[in-house]
Amino acid sequence: MMKNSRRTAIKAGVALGAVGGLGLLAELLKEPVEQIPSVAPPAAGKPVWSNWSGINRCQPAALLTPQDEQGIVDIVRSASGSLRCVGAGHSFTALVPTDGTLISLDQLAGIVEHQGFNVRVKGGTRLAQLERELDALGLALHNQADIDAQSYAGAISTATHGTGRELQALHAKVQALRIVTPSGQTIECSTVNQPDLLHAAQVSLGSLGVITEATIEVVPAFRLHRKVSLMPLEEMLTSAPSLATQNRHFEFFYLPFTGYAAAITHNVYEGDAVSRPPSADESMLHDLRQLRDWAGRFPALRRWLAQKLIDPALTEEARDRSWKLLSTSRPSKFNETEFHVPQEAGIACVREVIQALERHNDAYFPVEFRFVKADDAWLSPFYRRDACSIAVHAAGGEAYRYFADDIEPIYRKYQGRPHWGKLHTHRASDFAGLYPRWKDFLEIRKQYDPTGRMLNPHLRQVFGVAT
C-alpha cells in the first residue's frame, strides 16, 4: 500500500480522476470482484479479538491487560490452558488466536531508562510512542518499518523491518531481553549473558514467553531527505541494485497494470528545513481501484488508460525527522504476503511475481520491494543472508487465495523465507530446510515450554508440535 506522503509520485488522484468522465465505460466494463467470506458473529458473553485486517478472530476464555510485569507473572501462574500475547494485532498470520488466555501488553509501555545509546523499553510500547520518546531524548531507531502501530515486542518477535541495503531489521539491535517464561519465572538474556537464548528470543513468535522489556541500541536523532520518482518497470529493475547501494534507504513500488514503478529514496539531511507535501495516497488507491473496476476485464485497455493519464515526470520531495518520514498509518485495510529472498535473486524473483500478479485482473495494490541486511537471530528471515523483501497485497474484503496458489510457488523457487507476520503456507518441514539453526531453536522452545502453553494451532503447525 502507498504510505502517507511516501508513495504519491504519480499523483493519481488528479490524473486518474479524468477517467471519471468515462461514465459509459464504467458501466460497460465494471466487473464484480470476488469477496472473501465474512466471519461468523461472536457468541454472546465472551470477549472477542480480531486482527487489524479482520481475517483472524478468536474468543479467548479471558482477555487480560496486566498493569506491570508482576501482573503478567500472576496471570501466567494462575491461568489454565494456552497463553498468547497481543500488541497491535497487525500480523496477518494466525499468531494470536487462542481459546485460552489472551494477554494484552498495552499497559506495559514507555522507555524505562537510557544510558548513552542503549535504551530499555517496555515490551508493549507502540513504535509510534517509542519514536516520539526517543526523539525527545535526541535519539532515534536506526531504521523503521512501514507502519508504527505495532508493539515493540510484537515487532521484533515477527522480524519487522524497514529498507536499506546496509540496515538490519529491528530485532538486530536488541542487546538484552527480559521474559516471563511459561512457568511464570522471569529471566534475562543478553549479548553477554546467555547469548544463544538471546539469538533465539530476538525472533520467537511469542513462543518462549512474554517479553516485558528490551534493551536496544539506538542512534542520534537524524533528519531525512526523501525523493520519489517514476520509472518504467524494466528501467527500475535494472537500476534497483545501484540505487540500493547509492542511498541509505531505497525501495520501489510497482503499480500493477501501469508499466510504472515508484522509486523512493531517503538520505540523511543536515539542514533544519521541513517540507512535507500533503498526501494523496488514499485518493490514489481509490483511483487505481476505480480503474481496475472499470477496465479489469480488459488489461490492455487498462494499461493504455493508465499510461495515457499518468505523468511520469511528476516527482516529490520531503524533508523531516526520520520517524516522521519512514513510518505512517494505513487507513485502507488489506491482506498481505511477503517473502525474503537472497539479495542476488531479488530482481529475478520480483519480475516473476509481477508477471504472476498481472494474471489476476483484480489486482491493483502496489508490489513492494525492499532491501534488508543480514543478522544473527536464529529465526530471522535475514539470518546470515542479505535479502530482498517482496510483498504483494490484496484489498480488505477481496480474495487473496492466489497468494498461496500463484505467488508463493515463485518465492519457494528462490528459497524465500516468509515474513512471520504475513500470509504463507509453510510448515515445520519447510522451515527446517530454510533455517540453519531451526533444530537449535526447537530445543530451546521445548526447554522453556515443554507442554506448549505458548502455542496455538498455527504455531503448532509452524513448529511441528502435535496437539
**Helix, strand, coil fractions of the chain, as percent rounded to 5:** 30, 25, 40
pLDDT of residue 413: 98
Is there a domain that residue 465 lies in? Answer: no
pLDDT at 6 over 60: no
Q: Which residues pair with 463 in a beta bridge?
A: none
Separation of alpha carbons 307 and 235, rounded Å: 16
pLDDT digits (tens, 9 = 90+) for 340-387: 999 999 999 999 999 999 999 999 999 999 999 999 999 999 999 999
pLDDT digits (tens, 9 = 90+) for 162-190: 999 999 999 999 999 999 999 999 999 99
Please report, rounded to a whole number, the percentage of residues in the chain having pLDDT higher than 70.
90
59-68, 228-237, 269-278 — which is least confidently predicted? 269-278
pLDDT of residue 338: 98
**Do 94 and 184 share a domain, yes or no?**
no
pLDDT of residue 280: 65
55: nearest Cα among 416, 251, 333, 427: 333
Q: Residue holding cell 540523511? A: 268
DSSP letters for 331-388: -S-EEEEEEEEEGGGHHHHHHHHHHHHTT-TT--SPEEEEEE--B--TT-TTBT--EE
pLDDT of residue 11: 41
Q: What is the mean pLDDT of residues 263-287?
A: 84
Separation of alpha carbons 268 and 250, rounded Å: 12
CA angle 417, 418, 421 (to 5 degrees): 145
**Do 215 and 226 share a domain, yes or no?**
no
Total residues belonging to the chain: 467
pLDDT band for position 101 (cuts 50, 70, 90): very high
**Do 231 and 350 share a domain, yes or no?**
yes
Q: At what angle do helices 281-295 and 299-309 cross, to 10 degrees?
A: 140
pLDDT of residue 401: 96
**Do 90 and 143 share a domain, yes or no?**
no
**Do 130 and 54 share a domain, yes or no?**
no
Q: At what angle do helices 233-246 and 346-357 cross, to 10 degrees?
A: 150
Is there a domain that residue 447 lies in? Answer: no
pLDDT digits (tens, 9 = 90+) for 421-438: 999 999 999 999 999 999
Average model confidence (pLDDT) for the chain? 90
**Hey, how many other C-beta atoms are within 10 angstroms of the C-beta on 71?**
17
pLDDT of residue 204: 98
**Do 126 and 236 share a domain, yes or no?**
no
pTM: 0.91
Is there a domain that residue 188 lies in? Answer: yes
**Do 385 and 324 share a domain, yes or no?**
yes
Residue 442's identity, in one-letter code, is: L
**Do 268 and 355 share a domain, yes or no?**
yes
**Hey, how many other C-beta atoms are within 10 angstroms of the C-beta on 383?**
22
Q: State which of 167, 202, 220 marks the end of a domain.
A: 220
pLDDT of residue 442: 98
**Do 275 and 305 share a domain, yes or no?**
yes
The parent domain of residue 69 ranges over: 49-104
pLDDT digits (tens, 9 = 90+) for 20-55: 333 323 333 333 333 333 334 455 667 999 999 999
